[in-house]
Structure 1
């Protein structure tokens, strides 16, 4: 088992830049969204990420075989968007599990990474993680996979195939993955 994060390299400090850069990446992603990007972007056979979902998107997720929805968006970030309780109720009504692991613009923490690992490991079916653009969900997935030992280049490749760039957290991904 890998050790917890070094107190010398706090996750939040390393990822403040990542969250600040999210806005720029969001603009690129939103432009791509208007082109041909699907709402749910598959990272691998187990997980897809998405920009903010609506209550109607729950049915599409269910039809896609999703059994767990992971909300990485804090309540109140966009007051007009469906909030956590709304998405949770719709997911449960559709027979899906739901977990909230909100990521604010202040960065990622060890408990959030652990919560994502637990979600990934406990789900028997497909997972849909969402936030404002899908970026925070992808970056959190990346950190979780690194901590589980996946090679940073493979993490970057899979995230890139879904249209996301892990550069903002690449150093932390490499630190968590350890020597390969």
Structure 2
């Protein structure tokens, strides 16, 4: 597993396996956020399999599939809800990038845009192309 810490309470990762869940629970993770659509994975990594493995390990599970290029307000809201769950969290997708994008969009307006982009960059994810969208979400409504 290639866990990349974004915040003290959130790490992101590429695809994990069901057998990784006991070790993640032992490491202190209490929430798993699956941002990978089922049509990208096989039956051993689908939503239901990952949900069962997470629950068996005592980890709260959220399924918020993010298809590239299809960002919606509901997707951002669902990620914000999952991120508000108590305890250390791990969000994953194919590479960790989509999970990082959703984190930044959910945090827009709560932290400076430059800080969000810098945090992502330190973890190895370039969100500079997302700056206009993050800024638009951070802007107060008129």
Of 83, 102, 108 in structure 2, the residue corresponding to residue 146 of structure 1 is 108
* Equivalent in the alignment of 2:8: 45
Counterpart-to-counterpart distance in 2, 1:97 and 1:166:
28
Q: Is the aligned partner of 1:167 residue 2:128?
A: yes
In the alignment, structure 1 segments of 5+ residues that lack a partner are 1-37
* Equivalent in the alignment of 1:29: none
The 5 A counterparts of 1:122-133 are 123-133=85-95
**1:12-52 deviation line (CA, Å, top 9, x unaligned):** xxxxxxxxxxxxxxxxxxxxxxxxxx611100111000000
Moved over 2 A (4+): 78-81
**1:63-114 deviation line (CA, Å, top 9, x unaligned):** 2211010000000213265111111100000111001000012321100111
* Equivalent in the alignment of 1:99: 62
Counterpart-to-counterpart distance in 2, 1:166 and 1:72:
17
In the alignment, structure 2 segments of 5+ residues that lack a partner are none
Counterpart-to-counterpart distance in 1, 2:86 and 2:47:
22
Of 99, 118, 127 in structure 2, the residue corresponding to residue 137 of structure 1 is 99
Q: Is the aligned partner of 1:67 residue 2:67?
A: no
- The answer to whether the 8 A contact 2:43-2:49 is kept is no
Counterpart-to-counterpart distance in 2, 1:63 and 1:103:
27
Question: Please, what is the CA RMSD of the aligned residues?
Answer: 1.5
The alignment of Structure 1 onto Structure 2 pairs a total of residues equal to 140
SS at match of 2:132: helix
Greater C-alpha radius of gyration: 1
SS at match of 1:43: strand
**What is the TM-score of this pair, normalised by structure 1?**
0.73
